Amino acid sequence: MSQLQSVEARTGQAFGQPLQASNAADIDRAVQAAAQASAAWAASSGEARAKLLRGLADALEADRATLVELADTETAL
């Protein structure tokens, strides 16, 4: 199976651990999981959705510095 490797945009050097590329079976499992999650999401209340989204936003904000640094390393923007 092939791998995906992150590369520093400024230097061209690989960094981080390589990730396994997905195959057809992986994609089928992801599509099935998404369909199940979609049904659960549709059945949830607006209040429950808002709570989940606020939690996600809080988690992203808590890791903001790390995410910005990673995006900068990968894109050099």
Render each residue's pLDDT in the chain as its tens digit; 77 residues: 699 999 999 999 999 999 999 999 999 999 999 999 999 999 999 999 999 999 999 999 999 999 999 999 999 98
H helix intervals, 44-63: 46-62
CB neighbour list of residue 4: distance below 8 Å, 6 or more residues apart:
18, 19, 20, 21
Identify the helix (H) or strand (E) that includes residue 20.
strand 14-20
Report the interhelical angle of 46-62 vs 64-75 (nearest 10°).
70
